[in-house]
């Protein structure tokens, strides 16, 4: 069943309203053959976890530029776990300072992509990560 389209949730937690990056990513992933559920700005951790659950996604992509990632990301990761979602690929985007990277990885994120990332590289990264997860659960 590996040929079913990869389903990705793209959400912006927190209060910043800068969604150009998230929209560019959503469009690029669509163009590489993925189904992208786009939920937009100002999403609470609860909204994101609920959407990931109902939509049964393979990937959750979180874009944040406000600097609140160290507060919001752990909350989202916890809620996903509470809902029994332990097999999604977590990807961060936006402004994540290098010094936070070890903690982000520790939380279970597969990667973080800031400004200047090639969308092809991102799509390839996601495809590889999902293939690995699907291979592990098959």
Partner 1 sequence: MNAESIEQLRAGNPRAVARAISAVERGGAPARDVIAAIFRYTGRAHVIGVTGAPGTGKSTLVNEIAKEYRRRGKRVGIVAVDPTSPFSGGAILGDRLRMQDLSGDSGVFIRSMATRGNLGGIAAATSDAVQVLDTAGYEIVLVETVGAGQNEVDIAKNTHTTIVVDAPGMGDDIQAIKAGILEIADLLIVNKADHDEVSATVAALEMNLNLKPKAENDWRPPVLKTIALQGDGVADVVDWIGKHRQYLVDHHQLEVRERARFRAELEMVVQNELMARLLRGVNESKVDSLVEKIATREMDVYQAAETLIGKEN
Output the smallest distance, CB 17 to partner 1, in A: 14
Closest Cα partner for 29 from 66, 60, 55?
A: 60
Span from 42-50, 87-95, 97-105, 109-117 in contact with partner 1 (CB under 8 A): 42-50
Site string for partner 1, 69-108 (x = CB under 8 A): --------------xxx-----------------------
Q: Which two tokens stand for residue 137?
A: 């659960």
Total length of the chain: 138
Nearer of residues 79 and 104 to partner 1, judged by Cβ? 79
State yes or no: residue 20 binds partner 1 (CB under 8 A): no
Integer-rounded Cα Rg, in Å, for the chain is 14
Cα 75 to chain centroid distance, Å, stands at: 14
For residue 116 the two structure tokens come to 């200047």
117 binds partner 1 (CB under 8 A): no
118 scored as a contact of partner 1 (CB under 8 A):
no
Q: Is 32 exposed, middle or buried (0-12, 13-18, 19+ CB in 10 A)?
A: middle
Distance CA 37, CA 105 (A): 24
- Toward partner 1, which CB reaches closer, 19 or 129? 19
Rounded to 5°, the CA angle 26-30-36 comes to 60
For residues 96 and 122, which CB has a smaller minimum distance to partner 1 in the complex?
122
Of residues 3 and 98, the one with the C-beta less far from partner 1 = 3
Interface ranges with partner 1 (CB under 8 A)? 1, 4-5, 26-27, 29-40, 44, 46-47, 50-51, 53-56, 83-85
């Amino acid at each position: 069943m590996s040929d079913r389209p990869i389903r990705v949730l793209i959400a912006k937690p927190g209060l910043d309203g800068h969604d150009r990056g998230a929209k560019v990513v959503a469009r690029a992933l669509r163009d590489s053959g993925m189904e992208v559920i786009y939920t937009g700005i100002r999403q609470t951790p609860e909204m994101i976890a609920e959407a990931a659950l109902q939509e049964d996604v393979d990937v959750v992509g979180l874009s944040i530029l406000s600097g609140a990632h160290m507060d919001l990301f752990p909350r989202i990761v916890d809620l996903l776990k509470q809902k029994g979602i332990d097999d999604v690929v977590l990807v961060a985007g936006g402004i994540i300072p290098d010094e936070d990277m070890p903690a982000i990885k520790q939380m279970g994120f597969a990667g973080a992509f800031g400004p200047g990332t090639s969308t092809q590289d991102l799509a390839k990264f996601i495809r590889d990560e999902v293939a690995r997860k699907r291979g592990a659960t098959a």
